[in-house]
Amino acid sequence: MPTDLVKTLTYLSLHLTIGFGVAYALTGSLALAGGIALIEPCVNAVAFFFHEKAWQRAGARRRLLAA
């Protein structure tokens, strides 16, 4: 298995475990903590996509102004 894939999967496991632990500590509910731990990474992935698009636009604007 490629190293990048292994790193991605281990990071996902870490992220889900921490998210579940924090949500459970705050709510005391296994169901709610599980839901939060699964939904949050999905929302985060969408936010990351738009964050990257914004940085690409900012980079293009800087290059245009520098030309």
Query: For 50-59, what is each residue's pLDDT tens digit?
Result: 999 999 999 9
**Angle, CA of 47, 49 and 51, to the nearest 5°:** 70
Domain count, the chain: 1
Query: For 28-42, what is each residue's pLDDT tens digit?
Result: 999 999 999 999 988
Distance (Å, whole) CA 33 – CA 21: 7
pLDDT > 70: percent of the chain = 100
Q: Which pLDDT score, from 0 to 100, does residue 67 have?
A: 82
The residue segments making up the domain with residue 19 are: 3-66
